[in-house]
Structure formats: structure tokens, C-alpha cells
Amino acid sequence: MPASSRTPFSHRPSRQGTRTAPSPADLLDFARRVAADTARVAALPLDPEGRTWTRLEGPGGAEAWLIGWPPGAETGWHDHGGSHGAFVTAAGELTEQSLSVPLPGEGWRSLELADGLDRVRVLPEGRGRAFGRNHLHQVENRSGSLHAVSVHAYYPPLPLIRRYSRKGSTLRLELVERPEEW
């Protein structure tokens, strides 16, 4: 098929009617395009005390956000409720810590993690990553003085976010947040 006739998203049907479901790679492409829009990134209001965000129109019905991170801001350990996604640093630098292991879906409150599961990625401006439905991570701006800005996209739109605490090799489910809470 010639490149000019390809659609930007996969051909899987979605729950959104005739829209097609964007893949993690599609979401990463979208996040990269938005992150490269310096005027849009610069228009995000930044708060020195906490994260700020603006909802974006994501591709194919995806949920998307432009997020500002003051120095030292972090998300804590969380997952995306079974959605796949992507994020790209648009300004500054973010660090992602993740676990390279699928977690059980239901019926647990605490897990003992094996050694060697931790991954750390430093994502400077213009860098990002896509992730699958079972991704668990925390993201932080480790700078002591500079804000960071990032673009995030999820499909299907986030049904929930599970938040975890972590002490050493023990991961504990602490809270389940629903969309009406954020």
C-alpha cells in the first residue's frame, strides 16, 4: 500500500463506533507531534507548587493530556487501568521508573517482587515511550530548579488508575481512582 493512502491508526474496530482504535505506536506519534508544538507547550500554565494539566483531543477517541511538572513533582507508583498509552517529554527532563513484569489483574493487595524487575529511563525533551495495558510505573521531574512538560495519551480512555506504595521489594495496592475523581 502506498504510504500516502495509509490511515494513521490501526484498522481494529473500537467501542467508539466507526473510529479505529489507536495503537501504542499511534499514541506515541501523536504525543511527539504535540510535544514538538512549542507554542502549545509554552501556553500551558505552570504552577511552582504542583502539577498542572490541560486535556487534549486525542487520536481515535484516545484520552490525552498536556502536563506541567514543577521541580521535584512525581506521580507515585500507578497503572492505567488496562489502557495502553504513550508519553513524551516536551520540555525539561522526566525520569520513569517501571517494573518489567505483568501484575495479576484482580484479587491481590500486596506482592513481593523478585530482583531485577526495575527499569529506569531518563527522558529528556523530545524523548518518550509507548507502553502496553499492564504497565506500572512512576514518573518524576528530578530537577531542583526547572519545570518539565509532557504529553500523555491513553486508549481506551482511562477507566481507572490504581495507585501503589512500594517499600523495597513489596508493592501494595493502596487506592483505586475513577475518572470522576480527577
Q: What is the mean pLDDT of the chain?
A: 90
Burial 112-137 (b: 16+ CB within 10 A, else e): eeeeeeeeeeebebeebbbbebebbb
Domains of the chain: 20-181 (2.60.120.10)
* pLDDT tens readout for residues 134-174: 899 999 999 999 999 999 999 999 999 999 999 999 999 99
Percent of the chain with pLDDT over 90: 82
- pLDDT bin (cut points 50, 70, 90) of residue 13 is very low
pLDDT score recorded for residue 20: 86
| Residue 21 to residue 160: CA distance in whole angstroms | 19
**Average pLDDT in the 75-97 region?**
97
Q: Centre a 10 Å sphere on the Cβ of residue 50 and count the other Cβ atoms it contains.
A: 9
| Residue 2 to residue 4: CA distance in whole angstroms | 5
pLDDT score recorded for residue 116: 93
pLDDT over 70 at 118, yes or no: yes
What string of H, E and C letters represents the secondary structure of the chain? CCHHHCCCCCCCEECCEEEECCCHHHHHHHHHHHHCCHHHHHCCCCCCCCCEEEEEECHHHCEEEEEEECCCCECCEEECCCCEEEEEEEECEEEEEEECCCCCCCCCCEEECCCCCEEEEEEECCCEEEECCCCEEEEECCCCCCCEEEEEEEECCCCCEEEEEEECCEEEEEEEECHHHC
Question: pTM value?
Answer: 0.86
Q: Among 16-20, 95-99, 118-122, 139-143, which is the least confidently predicted range?
A: 16-20
pLDDT score recorded for residue 19: 64
Strand partners, 148: 69
| Residue 137 to residue 105: CA distance in whole angstroms | 16
- pLDDT bin (cut points 50, 70, 90) of residue 105 is confident
Q: Among 20-24, 86-90, 104-108, 143-147, which is the least confidently predicted range?
A: 104-108
pLDDT score recorded for residue 18: 56
**Average pLDDT in the 101-126 region?**
91
